[in-house]
Amino acid sequence: MRGIAGCGWILGSRAEVSGVRRSHFLKATLALTAPAILPLRARASETLKAPRLRTGDLVGLVSPAGPMQTQAELQTGIEQIKLLGLVPVVGKHAMDKWNGHLGGTDAARAEDINTFARDPKIRGIFALRGGYGTMRILEAIDYRAFAHDPKVVFGFSDLTALLNAITSRTGLVTFHGPVAALSTYTPTVVQEIQAATMSGNPIGVLKNTSTVSIIPGRAQGKLVGGNLTLVSALTGTPFAVPSAGNILLLEDVHEEPYRIDQLLTTLLLSGDLQRAAGIAVGAVTEPDRKVGDGPTDELVETLRDRLAVAGRPAVRGMQFGHILNQWVLPLGLDAVLDATAGSLTISEAAVI
């Protein structure tokens, strides 16, 4: 039997286990398998930054959501991490599959994340892919390990649940950006990941030609959010994305306008949109349409109508989401949204 990470002793053969008092063994086992979350009411108020990644650093590769389908996909993730000058370490369960749509059991997926979080040699954790399933393991994540040893955590889409949970409970800045295997690390992406996670410099001003102002104005606050489906799904739970006073990022993929309406209306009914300092919508793509096609009139009107009700400075069309060359955005870091000019400014470094 393999040793259990984070334990001061190693479980070996059955004979070795029998030498341990049963009560002590059961207590230790329960401590390892019980949810290791910080108190749910303990929201971090101070910003915590990970040490910057350096060439040659070890980073863990995990599948916290959907399953990897082929070894070729995994190899793509490995090679793309190498493009950053980093050394990939594949999680023990990265290629697991369970119940068709999950990358292993909940326990296995959480184990990979916690193992890397507790290992001081691992300086970052990159998701190989999104899909669905990250919210299933939020109660099993060792948030104290991330607070004790801050490290870069990177992903997007379904990883929205994990990134925001870590940031809200520890203050650690996490990174919303392309996954290692199923995104494409173009030279632009490589440069942006390195600038955000391997440099002590601020990201600066982000602006693209496709950004459209919905409600003009200026807002300042910490970046939070990510995938709209996940932000909406977490509403009303202890892991709800903390939008109040912050800049709420929203993106989604392959959703009909009525679904976007439903998801945004949920956030209006919960008050999350109204409480945000500002709202930045990235790429929102509809089924059977390419990103280059642009949104339909129905989707444009849906976004305008729902965000107008919120009454906060808001834009759509920013360069993040399920698109090529998306921006790397540090969640939990202060930023300024200029919804009149269509820009997002990050004036401090995301790592130390």
Looking at the structure, do residues 98 and 74 belong to the same domain, yes or no?
yes
Q: Is residue 31 part of a domain?
A: no
Looking at the structure, do residues 70 and 158 belong to the same domain, yes or no?
yes
Q: Is residue 169 part of a domain?
A: yes
Q: Is residue 40 part of a domain?
A: no
CA 284, CA 254: separation in Å to the nearest integer?
Answer: 8
Domain C-terminal end among 148, 177, 197: 197
Q: Tell me the sheet residues that pair with 88.
A: 59
Q: Which domain holds residue 104?
A: 58-197
Looking at the structure, do residues 136 and 237 belong to the same domain, yes or no?
no
Q: Known catalytic residue: 322?
A: yes
Number of domains in the chain: 2
* Phi then psi dihedrals of residue 326, to 5 deg: -75, 155
Q: Is residue 5 part of a domain?
A: no
Q: Is residue 23 part of a domain?
A: no
Q: Is residue 24 part of a domain?
A: no
| Per-residue H/E/C for the chain | CCCCCCCCCCCCCHHHHHCCCHHHHHHHHHHHHCCCCCCCCCCCCCCECCCCCCCCCEEEEECCCCCCCCHHHHHHHHHHHHHCCCEEEECCCCCCCECCCECCCHHHHHHHHHHHHHCCCEEEEEECCCCCCHHHHHHHCCHHHHHHCCCEEEECHHHHHHHHHHHHHHCECEEECCCCCCCCCCHHHHHHHHHHHCCCCCCEEEECCCCEEEECCEEEEEEEEEEHHHHHHCCCCCCCCCCECCEEEEEECCCCHHHHHHHHHHHHHHCHHHHECEEEEEEECCCCCCHHHCCCHHHHHHHHHHHHHHCCCEEECCCCCCCCCCCCEEECCEEEEECCCCEEEECCCCCC
Q: Known catalytic residue: 286?
A: no
The catalytic position among 157, 168, 232, 243 is: 157
C-beta separation of 210 from 321 below 8 A: no
Residue with tokens 């990265």: 94
Tell me the whole-structure pTM to 2 decimals.
0.88
Torsion angle defined by CA atoms of residues 95, 101, 104 and 105, in that order, rounded to the nearest 10 degrees: 180
Looking at the structure, do residues 79 and 147 belong to the same domain, yes or no?
yes
Domain C-terminal end among 172, 197, 222: 197
Q: Is residue 35 part of a domain?
A: no
The catalytic position among 73, 192, 251, 286 is: 251
Looking at the structure, do residues 214 and 193 belong to the same domain, yes or no?
no
Domain C-terminal end among 197, 231, 260: 197
Q: Known catalytic residue: 46?
A: no
Q: Which two tokens stand for residue 155?
A: 């992903």
Looking at the structure, do residues 213 and 172 belong to the same domain, yes or no?
no
Looking at the structure, do residues 190 and 212 belong to the same domain, yes or no?
no
Largest CA distance in the chain: 70
Looking at the structure, do residues 133 and 223 belong to the same domain, yes or no?
no
CATH of the domain at 328: 3.50.30.60
Q: Is residue 100 part of a domain?
A: yes
In tens digits, the chain (352 residues) has pLDDT values of 333 333 322 223 333 333 333 334 333 433 434 444 444 334 677 999 999 999 999 999 999 999 999 999 999 999 999 999 999 999 999 999 999 999 999 999 999 999 999 999 999 999 999 999 999 999 999 999 999 999 999 999 999 999 999 999 999 999 999 999 999 999 999 999 999 999 989 999 999 999 999 999 999 999 999 999 999 999 999 999 999 999 999 999 999 999 999 999 999 999 999 999 999 999 999 998 876 788 999 999 999 999 999 999 999 999 999 999 999 999 999 999 999 999 999 999 999 9
pLDDT value of residue 43: 67
pLDDT value of residue 137: 98
